[in-house]
Amino acid sequence: MDTAESMVESLSNISDRCSQVSVVVVSVVTNHKLSSLSIISVHRGRKSIDCGVPTQGLDKDRVTGIFYASDDSSITTGVNFNVSEEYGYSTNLFLPYVLGDVRAFPQGSRNCYSLKPSKAKDNLYLIRASFMYGNYDGKNALPEFDLYLNVNFWSTVKFKNASDQVYKEILSFATSDTTYVCLVNKGKGTPFISGLELRPVNNTIYGTEYGRNVSLVLYQRWDIGYLNGTGRYQNDIYDRIWSPYTPVSWISTKTTEYLDIFQSGYRPPDEVIKTAASPKSGDGPLELVWTSEDPNARFYAFLYFAELEKLEKNDSRKINILWNGSPVSENSFIPSSKYSMTFSNSKAFTGKDHLISVQKTEDSTLPPILNAIEIFTAYSLDEFFTAIKDVNAIESIKATYKVNKIWSGDPCSPRLFPWEGIECVYSNPNYQIKSLNLSSSGIQGPIASAFRNLTLLESLDLSNNDLQQNVPEFLADLKHLKFLNLKGNNFTGFIPKSLMKKLKDGVLALSVDDQNLCNSSSCQDKNNMVVPIVVATSVIFLLVVLVIIWIILRQRKRGANSGPGPLLPTGKRRFTYNEVSSITKNFNKVIGKGAFGIVYLGSLEDGTEIAVKMIKDSSSTRPQGSSSSPAPKEFQVEAELLLTVHHRNIASFVGYCDDDRSMALIYEYMANGNLQDYLSSEKAEDLSWERRLHIAIDSAQGLEYLHNGCMPPIVHRDVKTANILLNDNLEAKIADFGVSKVFPEDDISPVETVVMGTPGYIDPE
């Protein structure tokens, strides 16, 4: 969010209600930007965006006094243009400020604005998009394109001429804190936009029988009886645009008396409710007629009434409202002279031809009146969104690799316009990604862990990039993966055995470079090499191993090296105390406490979050100043145990610290803490029985691995909910082996560690 938009949002947060607030802002004078002292009327959650303006400041519309921010923080695609001079301010001093420039989208089929008003979810918003072609591209070719709100169709944008000012309005409940406004190229010219406005609306008004399952697209909004005016008024808290409307067969009337507009949540502005019209014929009806191109369209009308005349003692004005000859409401009503009244149809008007008739009753002495009317078309919200875990995963991939594609809005929806390189599974209630093609996309670095969260992925093409390091084992955990292309990268090492097994079993089509693949024939060729070369290679390898061992023994001396700790044979690290202090930011954040000691949150150089368990009173276990005294028995056992354990349901061991100042064990960070705390928190209410069963299965698989997958087998000896950790996907992992029991391979003479911590469930074996 840029500075200007942050200012607008900060001002908006001053009001906790939708009531107006005046805020004084002091600013520097630049052209017609913020003047030295301005009174800004703001509402919480409002956004006013000038699309295509390059500045980062706030721009004031000289007519409405509304301040607009640049759209730079809401979108990353598109090109900025000014309208042609003949359509700009030089020829039209009252041109709305946002119509002087545009952001056009010559690339991509769908480009989306990402709008994030404060606390938007589940609240009703009026969203207005404004457009004026103004021959910005010098082609004199009027475009036509579609507009979508989130994943559902909103409207088609067309123009009568280059100076035509087009406004599209929609009322819709926000389904999340982010709202997408998308422009879709339908092959009839380049989409563009001039301005975007979001206005929070009272959640209790503009109701339909469909509830929140429809959006209301504005068909017409008329200020009846008023022939002049701007149509946009400061005391309209919803910032609606009212078009004057008075047919020649009607006569206008108005009042200057006070009318209470606060009785109703619709809150029509004074300028609108204090004018009205009645039929010149006296006894005739007020009729509004329109024809729909779509005979299945559903319309809702909201009619505003207030008595503007002082009635004589024997005068009365009683009104009926009819649609195509049928009463809209069961009873007639008398307009109030004290406050505004709003009537609407409870059931949608459907059909091609529509006639709303406002009539006097038989016992009424005065003709009918009408002050204002709004007509909307209801659009069903038929499209579904992409599953949030897939959205988070693909957004993380986009951010990690800075993907240079037009990826905006929902990844899978609408179905006709998924993100480039993405195919999806379209099943209710959420769509999921099944295919991802990032071939030749210029991405570099290791394969991001976010790929593992695309659980329905069937095809993954990462070929011809600059991906590095090892091919991760978690790719084999993608149960539905059938095609994997990793060719043309710079991976080190071989493909994991689990992936090779899938290839061998015929369930995965795998493409990799030769240096990463050791198949039977290539390995056989290597075995056919002459014996002297094999012997020489073995001797060189042995010498290298001896040198590495000598280096490791030297670096094990306490305090001998303040730099990064040596890599362990398993790829884990031994850390110095200074490194532990650095990665925990001087032991800044405590995330747990146990019998061993305190657990701190840390972060490695690559951003990986870790948990650092500092062993309690470890410094007292060795002579002062000694760097060679052995660590406590239980610490040595746990560290050595953890180096041999590798399983998806076992907390991964990152490394350890063992010097004269302290001892520590370092694990992967588990975002959701331990199961005991999770079940005791408010989050437990959202934990389904299916997820609880998965957690139990994960835990059982971890224990089964300790019993049968480790040599020698391991008995945990303290299985309890506090020792079951949950990652950000609520996958369970077994932790804390300081209370474990190790059996030698012959299953005789078991060697036990010292039992520490609170006794939990002990395996029956």
**pLDDT tens for each residue of 50-95:** 999 877 667 788 778 888 999 988 999 999 999 999 998 888 888 8
Say how far apart CA 580 and CA 609 lie, in whole Å.
13
Residues marked as binding? 613
Please report whether residue 560 resides in a domain: no
**pLDDT tens for each residue of 683-697:** 777 778 888 888 888
Q: In the numeric block, which tokens belong to residue 185? A: 């190229």
- Pairing status of strand 444-445 against strand 466-469: parallel
**Whether residue 734 is found in the same domain as residue 651:** yes
Span of 97-101, 531-535, 635-639, 708-712 with lowest mean pLDDT: 531-535
**Whether residue 425 is found in the same domain as residue 305:** no
Q: How high is the pLDDT of residue 11?
A: 40
**Residue 217, beta-bridge partner list:** 170, 377
CB half-sphere exposure, 182, CA atoms < 13 A: 29
CB half-sphere exposure, 527, CA atoms < 13 A: 7
Say how far apart CA 48 and CA 195 lie, in whole Å.
8
Q: How does 123-150 read in b/e, with b if 16+ C-beta sit within 10 Å?
A: bbbbbbbbbbbbbbbeeeeebebbbbbb
Question: What CATH number does residue 684 fall under?
Answer: 1.10.510.10
**Whether residue 697 is found in the same domain as residue 605:** yes
Please report whether residue 552 resides in a domain: no
Who contacts 644 (Cβ-Cβ below 8 Å, separation ≥6)?
Answer: 570, 710
Give the residue from 509, 465, 521, 510 showing the smallest Cα distance to 491: 465
Residue type at position 529: M
**Mean pLDDT within 124-151:** 96
Q: How high is the pLDDT of residue 62?
A: 78
Give the residue from 199, 188, 105, 185 showing the smallest Cα distance to 147: 185
pLDDT at 759 > cutoff 60: no
Query: For residue 394, what is the enclosing H or E element?
Result: helix 388-401
Which 3 state secondary structure label does DSSP give 614?
A: strand
pLDDT at 753 > cutoff 50: no
- Told to judge if 16 belongs to the known catalytic residues of this protein, a careful annotator would answer no
Residue type at position 135: N
Question: What CATH number does residue 513 fall under?
Answer: 3.80.10.10
pLDDT at 278 > cutoff 90: yes
Say how far apart CA 360 and CA 353 lie, in whole Å.
23
Count CB atoms within 10 A of the CB of residue 346.
Answer: 10
**Whether residue 748 is found in the same domain as residue 719:** yes
**Whether residue 249 is found in the same domain as residue 367:** yes
Q: How high is the pLDDT of residue 492?
A: 87
Are the beta carbons of 432 and 457 closer than 8 angstroms? Answer: no
**Whether residue 368 is found in the same domain as residue 394:** no
Q: How high is the pLDDT of residue 688?
A: 82
**Whether residue 373 is found in the same domain as residue 397:** no
- Pairing status of strand 166-173 against strand 214-224: antiparallel
Residue type at position 530: V
Q: Which residue is listed with tokens 């001053």? A: 14
Span of 197-201, 283-287, 590-594 with lowest mean pLDDT: 590-594
Q: Does this model's pTM top 0.75?
A: no
Q: How high is the pLDDT of residue 17?
A: 33
pLDDT at 328 > cutoff 70: yes
**Whether residue 30 is found in the same domain as residue 177:** yes
pLDDT at 166 > cutoff 60: yes
Q: How high is the pLDDT of residue 668?
A: 87
Who contacts 99 (Cβ-Cβ below 8 Å, separation ≥6)?
Answer: 83, 130, 132, 134, 165, 194, 195
**Mean pLDDT within 205-209:** 94
pLDDT at 640 > cutoff 90: no
**Whether residue 169 is found in the same domain as residue 245:** no
More confident residue, 744 or 344: 344
Please report whether residue 264 resides in a domain: yes
Four-residue CA torsion sign, 290, 291, 294, 296: positive
More confident residue, 377 or 636: 377
Question: What CATH number does residue 319 fall under?
Answer: 2.60.120
pLDDT at 178 > cutoff 80: yes
Please report whether residue 244 resides in a domain: yes
More confident residue, 718 or 348: 348
CA distances from 243 to 90, 221, 239, 272, 349 (A): 25, 6, 13, 10, 22
Say how far apart CA 753 and CA 765 lie, in whole Å.
16
- Which phi and psi angles does 212 have, rounded to 5°? -90, 10
Residue 266: DSSP 8-state: T
pLDDT at 381 > cutoff 50: yes
Largest Cα–Cα distance in the chain?
Answer: 123
Say how far apart CA 764 and CA 753 lie, in whole Å.
17
pLDDT at 621 > cutoff 50: no
Give the residue from 159, 166, 167, 164 showing the smallest Cα distance to 142: 159
pLDDT at 395 > cutoff 90: yes
**What domain range is 731 assigned to?**
573-752
pLDDT at 194 > cutoff 80: yes
Say how far apart CA 740 and CA 650 lie, in whole Å.
14
pLDDT at 23 > cutoff 90: no
More confident residue, 25 or 348: 348
Are the beta carbons of 131 and 194 closer than 8 angstroms? Answer: yes
**Whether residue 406 is found in the same domain as residue 365:** no
- Domain count for the chain, please give it: 4
Residue type at position 89: Y
Highest-scoring range by mean pLDDT, 252-261, 297-306, 576-585, 740-749? 297-306
Q: How high is the pLDDT of residue 520?
A: 39
Say how far apart CA 94 and CA 97 lie, in whole Å.
8
Percent of the chain topping pLDDT 70: 78
pLDDT at 318 > cutoff 50: yes
Please report whether residue 538 resides in a domain: no
**Whether residue 735 is found in the same domain as residue 634:** yes
More confident residue, 532 or 217: 217
More confident residue, 451 or 628: 451
**Mean pLDDT within 363-372:** 95
Q: How high is the pLDDT of residue 636?
A: 60
pLDDT level of residue 737 (50, 70, 90 thresholds): low
More confident residue, 558 or 208: 208
**Whether residue 665 is found in the same domain as residue 730:** yes
Say how far apart CA 103 and CA 212 lie, in whole Å.
31
**pLDDT tens for each residue of 566-593:** 445 445 577 888 889 899 999 888 888 7
pLDDT level of residue 514 (50, 70, 90 thresholds): confident
Q: How high is the pLDDT of residue 538?
A: 53
Q: In the numeric block, which tokens belong to residue 67? A: 């301040």
Q: Which residue is listed with tokens 């700009």? A: 88
Q: How high is the pLDDT of residue 534?
A: 42
Please report whether residue 563 resides in a domain: no
Task: Decide: residue 183, CB within 10 A, 0-12 exposed, 13-18 middle, 19+ buried.
Answer: buried
Please report whether residue 213 resides in a domain: no
**Mean pLDDT within 420-445:** 92
Say how far apart CA 65 and CA 124 lie, in whole Å.
24
pLDDT at 293 > cutoff 80: yes
pLDDT at 153 > cutoff 70: yes
Say how far apart CA 386 and CA 395 lie, in whole Å.
12
Task: Decide: residue 622, CB within 10 A, 0-12 exposed, 13-18 middle, 19+ buried.
Answer: buried
pLDDT at 420 > cutoff 60: yes
pLDDT at 627 > cutoff 60: no
Residue 184: DSSP 8-state: E
The rounded mean pLDDT for the chain is: 81
pLDDT level of residue 486 (50, 70, 90 thresholds): very high
Q: How high is the pLDDT of residue 7?
A: 47
Four-residue CA torsion sign, 171, 174, 175, 181: positive
Q: How high is the pLDDT of residue 530?
A: 38
Residues marked as binding for ATP? 613
Question: What CATH number does residue 122 fall under?
Answer: 2.60.120.260
Marked catalytic residue, from 461, 698, 718, 736: 718
Say how far apart CA 596 and CA 599 lie, in whole Å.
9
> Which of 348, 380, 412 delimits the end of a domain?
380
More confident residue, 743 or 437: 437
Residue type at position 67: F
Q: How high is the pLDDT of residue 547?
A: 58
Please report whether residue 211 resides in a domain: no
Q: In the numeric block, which tokens belong to residue 6? A: 């942050």
More confident residue, 536 or 665: 665
